[in-house]
Structure formats: C-alpha cells, structure tokens
C-alpha cells in the first residue's frame, strides 16, 4: 500500500447503527437468557463449555443469507459508490475487489463463523417467555440459563463480538443497506484513495455488511429481543480460540461447532467463570414441580456447582404446547 493510512478507522462512520450506543454493548449490559434442554444445561455445567453454532445449521439461517445476498446485489446497483470512484475503470477494479471478498467468504470463511443466541431478560422475571419455551426450551421442559453481561470486560480486538439484534421489515433492512452504501460512497468521494488501497476499503465495507447480516433479523422475531455473541475465524488472527473449533453429530449429520470454554481467557474473556456469569436458572413450566426442582438442584450439586443449585427457580406460566 502506498501509505500507512488507517482505512478501517476512516470508514468507521458506516458502522452507525439504528440502535443508539446506550442500548448496545458495552454501554448497555443486560441480563440475557439462553433457553435449552435439561441435557444441554447439564453439558454446559459439567464441561464448563458453551457451544456456538454455525449459522448455516441454525433454524433462521435465511436471515444471514438475506443480509449477505442483498448487500452484494445492492452494492452492484448503487450509483453513489460508482460515482464516488470517479472513473469506470476505478469502479470496475474496486467492484472486483468487493466481489472477490464475497466469493472467498462463500467458499470457506462462512464455514467458520459461529453464533451463540440469547434473549434479553428482565431481572425480576422468574418465568421467562412462553414463545421461547416453545421454540427453544424443549417445549417448556427445559431451562433458561440467565447470564449477567455486566461482569464481562470489554477487550480490544477480542475475537468475540456481542451485540443485540436489530429488527426490521425486509424493506427497512434493504433501506439500511442503501444507507450504509451511501455513507461509504460519501467517504470515498471525500478522499483520493489510491488503487492499491482498494482491498482495504473493500474489506471495510464487507465487514460492515457481515455485521449487518449477523445482527439484523426480520421484525417477526422481535419478541425474542435477541442478543448474539459471534466468533469468526478471521476475527482471530492470534488463534486464541481456534483450538476450540470442533464438531457435533446430530442425527447422522456432522455440524461444525465452537466449543467455547467458560473460563478466564486472556484476549477473549478475562476473569469470567460460570458462577460469576450465571445469576439464575429458570426451569420450564411444562411439568414444573417441587420434585423436578430438587432433582435439578441435586444434579448441579453433584456436578460441583452448589452455588448454581441455589439459583434455581421454576417458571409459573400456565403452559400449553400450542
């Protein structure tokens, strides 16, 4: 590159979000709940691991595809970016850089992006959300593990990204893509960018659209008030978490997983243990009883987590499967 200019920092304005900063991490640090089966609860506590899923194997993977596919097509249609690059030749060379990055992502990098999903949780709520019990909590027979994000330290260049999901209609999300492109074009037009910096500029634009794809969803999911923790291998040049990449066999299908160890980890999660993170464990309302509560508490005590056993509560929602 012809100079040492920081293009990633220069294009920071394209990261302006529909949510104000005080509603996003790290300024906002809510409780977040992970709804799961009792078997998964046992595995998390026993192994002190939290498994992140690849979005291609998640039930709402179309949401990620929506962002990636439409950002690519809207980029190709965008006149502002074309005009900002001043000549057809410069535009063609920049376009080729952007498309090359999308192609490389499709060929391999998409395989090593992993997501952990949570629902924002009210501290006074010992019941949880009925829709979440039905969708993710083993039809009301599972558990909601409530984590406190206030104990997390913000670590510069951590390979983990945490943020809330922003919801919109398909039309609104397409408009957000266009707004990102127009802001990007404005910044390109304001600076004489040498062609050997096109790769850095294309990378900055793609990273913004990758985040858009991961952290936005159709407004039909808005009741979930979802937060996501995201890992991508290209966020991790120092290979802090690469030894946690693994797999799981589900019904004969092999799925890639990130098996994240819940422990103090320099560069990713300093000073955090399971006992520090978990503020309560809510048992689902389907078949809730004193006996089932005592059984789960016994399980946690046997697994060497008596502090977590004391934090077990039971949902009192009158449960119907439909």
- Residue 7 located in a structural domain: no
- Residue 207 located in a structural domain: yes
Least-confidence region, from 73-77, 142-146, 247-251, 294-298: 247-251
- Residue 22 located in a structural domain: no
- Residue 9 located in a structural domain: no
- Residue 20 located in a structural domain: no
- Residue 205 located in a structural domain: yes
- Give the DSSP H/E element, type plus range, for residue 204: helix 198-215
- Give the DSSP H/E element, type plus range, for residue 226: strand 226-232
Residue 2 has pLDDT above 60, yes or no: no
- Residue 142 located in a structural domain: yes
What's the rounded Cα separation, in Å, for the pair 155 and 268?
Answer: 7
Please report which confidence band the pLDDT of residue 31 belongs to, taking 50, 70 and 90 as the band edges: very high
What's the rounded Cα separation, in Å, for the pair 52 and 139?
Answer: 21
Helix (H, G, I), strand (E, B) or coil at 320: coil
What's the rounded Cα separation, in Å, for the pair 194 and 192?
Answer: 6
pLDDT reported for residue 108: 79
pLDDT reported for residue 224: 94
pLDDT reported for residue 19: 77
Phi-psi region of 31 (alpha: psi -120 to 50; beta: other; left: phi over 0): beta
Whether 313 contacts 283, CB under 8 Å: yes
Residue 47 has pLDDT above 60, yes or no: yes
CA distances from 162 to 122, 158, 191 (A): 18, 10, 32
Domain boundaries, position 51: 29-233+244-314
- Exposure string (b/e) for 211-220, b if CB count within 10 Å is 16 or more? bbbbbbbbee
- Residue 193 located in a structural domain: yes
The count of domains in the chain is: 1
pLDDT reported for residue 1: 44
Burial (CB count within 10 angstroms: exposed 0-12, middle 13-18, buried 19+), residue 173 = buried
């Amino acid at each position: 590159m012809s100079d040492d200019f920081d293009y990633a920092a220069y294009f920071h304005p394209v990261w302006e979000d529909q949510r104000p900063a005080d509603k996003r991490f790290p300024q906002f640090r809510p409780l977040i709940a992970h709804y799961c089966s009792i078997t998964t609860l046992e595995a998390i506590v026993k192994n002190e691991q939290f498994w992140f899923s690849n979005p291609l194997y998640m039930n709402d993977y179309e949401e990620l595809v929506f962002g990636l596919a439409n950002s690519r097509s809207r980029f190709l249609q965008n006149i502002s970016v074309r005009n900002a690059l001043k000549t057809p030749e410069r535009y063609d060379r920049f376009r080729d850089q952007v498309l090359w990055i999308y192609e490389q992502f499709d060929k391999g990098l998409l395989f090593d992006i992993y997501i952990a999903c949570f629902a924002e949780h009210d501290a006074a709520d010992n019941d949880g959300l009925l829709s979440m019990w039905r969708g993710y909590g083993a039809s009301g027979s599972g558990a909601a593990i409530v984590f406190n994000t206030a104990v997390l330290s913000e670590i510069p260049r951590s390979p983990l990204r945490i943020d809330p999901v922003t919801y919109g209609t398909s039309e609104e999300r397409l408009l957000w893509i266009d707004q990102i492109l127009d802001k990007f074009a404005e910044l390109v037009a304001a600076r004489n960018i040498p062609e050997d910096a096109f790769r850095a500029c294309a990378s900055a634009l793609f990273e913004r659209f990758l985040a858009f794809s991961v952290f936005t969803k159709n407004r039909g999911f808005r009741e979930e008030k979802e937060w996501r923790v995201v890992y991508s291998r290209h966020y991790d040049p120092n290979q802090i978490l690469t030894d946690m990449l693994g797999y799981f066999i589900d019904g004969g299908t092999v799925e890639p997983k990130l098996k994240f160890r819940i422990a103090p980890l320099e560069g990713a999660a300093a000073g955090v243990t399971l006992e520090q993170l978990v503020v309560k464990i809510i048992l689902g309302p389907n078949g809730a009883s004193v006996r089932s509560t005592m059984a789960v508490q016994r399980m946690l005590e046997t697994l060497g987590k008596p502090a977590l056993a004391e934090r077990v509560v039971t949902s009192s929602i009158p449960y119907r499967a439909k």
